[in-house]
Amino acid sequence: MNKLLLRVAAKPVLFGLCMLPFLWVTYGAFTSQLGANPAEYLVRATGDWTLRCLCLVLAVTPLRTLLKLPALARFRRMIGLFVYFYVVLHLLAYAWFDMSFELSEIAKDIVKRPFILMGFAGFVCLTPLAATSFNRMIRWMGGARWQSLHRLVYVIAGLGLLHFFWMRAGKNNFTEVLAYVALISALMGWRIVKTLNSHRLINQ
C-alpha cells in the first residue's frame, strides 16, 4: 500500500476524487437536479464538503501512524487546500444566493448571527494556512514557524463545529453535528494522548 501511495499517479487520483463533489453540484445546477431549493442545496453542500475535507486532514496523521503508512503525509497539503477551496465556494454561495453580494448586509449578518460569525472566523483563519501551503513559503517562514501557524487547524475545527451546531440549532437537528463532534473529538483525543505519552517518555 505504501508503494501505491508513493506512485506519481496517486496525487492526480486524489485530486480527481476531491473534485468530484464540485463537479457533481455544478452538473446538478446546470441540469436542475438540486431539488426544490438549489441555492440552499449549494450552500449546504459546499459547507458539508468543507467539514468533510477538514476531517480528512485531521485524520491523515493518525492513519499514517496507526496503519504505518508514512506516504499518507504527502497528501495532507492537497487535502488542506481543498478545505479552503470548498470553504471559498461555501462563502461565495452564501454571499451570492443569500445576500446578493450586498457587502453591508453581509457585514451586518456576520455580527448579528453567531453561526455566520463562527463560519467567517474559520474562513479568516484558513486563509493564511492556504497562503502558506507552498514549498517557497515553508522555506521562507522556516519549519518551526510554519508548523506553529498551521496548528490553527485545531482552532478552525472548533469554529467549524460551532458554525455547524448553531446552524442546525435553528431546526433542532443535531444528529450530523454529534457525528462530526465524535469524529473530530476522537482525532483530537488521539493527538492529546500521543503528546502526553511522548512527554512521559522524555521525562523518564
Question: Would you state the pLDDT for residue 200?
Answer: 73
Cell numbers 463533489 correspond to 21
Question: How many angstroms separate the Cα of 131 from the Cα of each of 86, 149, 175?
Answer: 15, 11, 34
Residue range of the domain that includes 39: 2-203
**Cβ pair 25, 42 in contact under 8 A:** yes
Angle at 83 between CA 95 and CA 168, to 5 degrees: 60
Q: How many domains does the chain have?
A: 1
Q: Report the chain (204 residues): mean pLDDT per 10 consecutive residues.
A: 89 96 94 91 96 96 93 94 97 94 95 94 96 91 91 96 91 89 95 82 64
Distance CA 119, CA 91 (A): 9
Q: What is the dihedral of CA 74, 79, 82, 86, to 10 degrees?
A: -170
Question: Would you state the pLDDT for residue 204?
Answer: 60
Question: Would you state the pLDDT for residue 202?
Answer: 64
Mind giving me the DSSP string for 112-177?
H-HHHHHHHHHHHHHHHHHHT-SHHHHHHH-HHHHHHHHTHHHHHHHHHHHHHHHHHHTTT--HHH
Number of CB atoms found within 10 A of residue 198's CB: 10
